[in-house]
Amino acid sequence: MAERLRVATCSLAGCFGCHMSLLDLDERLLGLLEVVEFDASPLNDLKRIRRPADLGLVEGGVCNAENVRVLREFRSHCRVLVAVGECAITGGIPSMRNGFTLKQCLEEAFIRGQGTENAHIPDDPEIPLLLNKVRPLHHIVKVDHYLPGCPPAPDAFWHFLTALVAGQDPSLPKELIRFD
């Protein structure tokens, strides 16, 4: 058997909906695993990319310093990087906080939030620093392909991955392009 395509995936400021939609390939996953193998991914719980991957699927936008680190690691270890879903492509729902200052957001969540006790803004050094704005991936690294949708439909994943494996243009047909 020819060497399988190595795929790494991660979720930054996302909801894992895109990963769920990938899993919704259902029985087609079995066929997919004939031609791809997963490196670091929430699906196998491997945290770091072990060796260079052919394909990196990144879900979610970039909202904190840890997201930036992971995204850069993916960019440097993945030959082809894909922004998966609306958050990765546009910032998506998390970027709705961009109309407010970080101070306003934190105070709303941790000071004025309903039922808050011992109100204070968490400052443990282990918590990644938030960016002032949530950004889509292409603001930070070069992105090779975009897979829109919230989440992209399983058929969109299927079309994209099978085209890429076959060495064809993975652009989606009109009927598979959705932003919701």
CB of 143 to another protein, least distance (A): 7
CB of 172 to another protein, least distance (A): 6
CB of 151 to another protein, least distance (A): 9
Q: Which of 49, 147, 161, 164 binds another protein (CB under 8 A)?
A: 147
Nearest residue (CB) to another protein, 32 versus 94? 94
Decide: is 133 part of the binding site for another protein (CB under 8 A): yes
How many residues are there in the chain?
180
Each residue 91-130 as x (binds another protein by CB under 8 A) or -, in order, gives xxx-xx-xx-------------------------------
| AA letter at 73 | E
Residue at token pair 């996302």: 14
Q: Which of 89, 131, 161, 164 binds another protein (CB under 8 A)?
A: 89
Which residues sit at the interface with another protein, rule CB under 8 A? 83, 86, 89-93, 95-96, 98-99, 133, 135-136, 138-139, 143, 145-148, 150, 171-172, 174, 177-180
